[in-house]
Amino acid sequence: MAIAVDSDATMSTTDFTRPRIRARSAGYIISDKRSNCLGSVRKQLRECLSKNESLSRVLVAVLLLYFLDGYIDCTEQSASTTSHQVGVRAIVEQLGGFSALLDESEKEIPHMLLSEFASTDLTRALLDDRPPCFPASIWLDIERGPVWWEKQTYGITLAAVFRTMAQLAFYRHSILNGDEELDIEKVRDFERCLQPSFQVLNLDHFDCPEEDTVSRGELERVNQTITFTRAFQHSALIYLYRAVCGLPPRHHLVQQHVNFCMGCINAISSSSKAHNCLIFPVYVVGAHSFTADHQTDILGKIDCIYRTIRFSSLLSIRAALEDLWKSEKQDGTWADLFTSLGRDVLVL
């Protein structure tokens, strides 16, 4: 999380983040570091406003605080993930909007942080049953720069999946608000966009077969990246059938994608970079798992990821799933399944 930006606020944030991660296992509480960090951010913000200077450095610091509280300190009383999100959105708007920021210097605002912020806003919006904070079109801009996931060269990209997920969320709330009606043709269009597909043979495969041939050393990485994207496709289809179409959780259309998504999750190696970023598909599938075997697999996957990154957000998700499995809410609506998750927890 350490970002090389010449800012007191950012340096205080990164300085605070590192010992908090180490201290978590030792049981220490470092509230003074947090106070210093927040004080530095406020001071920098006042200076930027009074001198009409760029807010870019403050944005990086607030983004780091947002991730700190959302991943690591989400169970603490001091956690303010939602407040930091409001702050980030306000600064982004002041700087000209999300798309404008993506055209800024990578040195000023790391694009990867922006891609992760947009991703966590999207996933949390779906879980909270609200519209995302940013239009679906931003994913076309995000994809052009550095992102937190491994980009793939075959098939649909993760950014394209996120774009469709955002469109789905906006469509659902247009229906709820009475602006649109449920249109089966539109639903089928969403299905087609999200269905995992396979490349088909064309003349180029005969003329230049080496262009689409993956080296032996790259084969596993490429396969893992494709499988990672498919896990999000299946979880998005579950959202489509449950939240948009209103199908019950044990409907066969829902459960077929629960099973396929579970297969993708289990197919991703724990040594893969993608492994620790499977939280959203794991949570969605877990909430729709009714068999003891699936539930055991889900808890095992959460525990495996937790052993690597030690984020408290994983413990919150684990506890929320265990509570859900004991309650009648699991047979409820999409929104019913995720109400017990703390508001400061980020899911990626």
Q: For residue range 149-177, what is the model confidence (pLDDT) as tens digits?
A: 998 877 889 999 999 999 999 999 999 99
- At 207-245, the pLDDT tens digits run 677 667 777 767 888 889 999 999 999 999 999 999 999
Q: pLDDT at position 14, please? A: 42
Sequence-ordered list of residues with C-beta below 8 angstroms from that of 221, at least 6 positions apart, any chain: 150, 272
pLDDT beyond 60 at 29: no
- At 195-210, the pLDDT tens digits run 998 777 666 666 677 6
pLDDT beyond 70 at 42: no
- Both structure tokens of 161: 């999946």
Sequence-ordered list of residues with C-beta below 8 angstroms from that of 163, at least 6 positions apart, any chain: 136, 137, 139, 140
pLDDT beyond 60 at 332: yes
Find tokens 């001091």 and name the residue: 78
Q: How many helices (H) and strands (E) does the chain have?
A: 15, 0
Sequence-ordered list of residues with C-beta below 8 angstroms from that of 256, at least 6 positions apart, any chain: none
Sequence-ordered list of residues with C-beta below 8 angstroms from that of 117, at least 6 positions apart, any chain: 63, 66, 88
The mean pLDDT of the chain is 86
